[in-house]
Structures are given as structure tokens and as C-alpha cells.
Amino acid sequence: MNSFEADYITLRKKEKRLYTDEQVKSLPEISEAHQHYKEWLIRSRSCQKLIQYLSKKKRELNILEVGCGNGWLCAQLSKISGSNVIGIDINKTEIDQAKRVFASIENLEFFYGEITDESIRNKSFDIIIFAASIQYFASLDEILIPARLLLNNEGEIHILDSHFYRSSELEMARQRSLDYYNSMQFSEMSKHYFHHCIDELNSYNYKIFHAPGSFINRFLKDGNPFHWICIYQYA
């Protein structure tokens, strides 16, 4: 077990974010009594919107989720007609759970490792997804550049369920995270959690599908606090 996984799994246990096989099979649906129920409501809506968007393409899609964890989102994406889905993660504990729970889904595979591993780098994808995972990569370029190498000519990268900040907000965001990890008596996890500025995407051809601070989302009282960003392979 690598140091990141050891820290990550220990913290998730403390946060009550490790789920039984039966719970994983049902996600994003979860009991209203669960302490993270409201969080899963947000993720459920994000999932529905992503599936609706991808389904409108009406063609076969090879989809990769990077940092898929226990695989619940991959399982939902595998329901898209014509989809072939792969999930990858360096967290062996949850990737093993994903393989176990979703073993019967024929158009779904899981790999333990990174996108630069041989098992992935010789494949090509129409869609690559980072859902609640981009914050665990220190540099956007270091992960997005190799991700783009895996994309087909008209491919897209989707980043969702993750915060992006203005440069003026970064210091306060970092302090909030450090305060949280300190409150959990787990300050070492802060070295694995990174805060990304929206300006880091300026060299990419991207579009913001959901901006939590936008006027329309405030008007609609949309409670999703996370960005949804689509990066296109070409202009």
C-alpha cells in the first residue's frame, strides 16, 4: 500500500466514507439517515447531468474515469447505450471493491494503477472523466497532458464534483483544508490535497458547464458547490 493510499483510506474510515459492498452497489442512492446523504444528492445530480450530456452524442463511447474509487460512477456510465467504460485508481482497497461489486457488468473494467501504465496508455478514449479526483493531482498539466494523449481527435475531458478557485481565493482555501485535516487529527493528508486555480486552464480549449458562483445558478438556487468543466481535444 503506497503512502497516499494508506493516508487516504485511514482518513476515509474516520470520515465514514468507506461503504459496504451493498451500499456501493446502490450509490449514488443512499439512506437519508446516512451522514453524507446531502453530499450524495449533489453527486447524484451531477451524475444524471453527465449521463444526459453523453447520451445525446448517440454513438459508441469509450469512457475512462481517472480516480474512480469504488467504481460507482463507472457503473452508472456503463448504462449509456454503446458505452465501454474503464475505471482506474491507485487506491487498491477501493478498486478491488469495484472489481468485486460490479464484476457482472460486461462493458466495464477496472485497473489498479495510473494512466501512464501500459494497461491504459495503448488505449484511446472519447471521454475521460475526473470526478471528485482532480484535487489529488499536484499539477493540472502533469495529469491533463498525458490524459489528452489518450483522447481521440474529437475527445473530451470532463472535470466535475471538484472545486476551482480564483487566484485570490487560493490561500484561504488551503487554510480551510489544513484546518479541517488538523481537526481530524490528520494533518499529513494535507500534503496529498491540492487547490487549483481556474486560470491554470487558460492554455486549454475549455468550457465551463457549471459555475457555482454564476448569477443563473444563484438565481436557480442550485446547491451544487462544484465546477463542471469540459476540455476539448481541439478547438
Rounded average pLDDT over 75-104 = 97
Q: What DSSP string describes 25-55? A: HHTT---TTSTTHHHHHHHHHHHHHHHHHHH
Residue for grid cell 488505449: 123
How far is 139 from 77, CA to CA, in rounded Å? 27
- Domain count across the chain: 1
Tens of pLDDT, residues 171-208: 999 999 999 999 999 898 999 999 999 999 999 999 99
Q: Does residue 61 contact residue 106 with C-beta atoms inside 8 Å? A: no
CATH code of residue 205: 3.40.50.150
The 10s digit of each residue's pLDDT in 6-59 is 889 999 999 999 999 999 999 999 999 999 999 999 999 999 999 999 999 999
Q: What is the largest CA-CA distance in the chain?
A: 48
What nine digits make up the cell of 171?
A: 490561500
Question: Would you say residue 228 has pLDDT above 90?
Answer: yes
Rounded CA separation 8/196 (Å): 19
Whole-prediction pTM: 0.94
Range of the domain at 89: 3-232
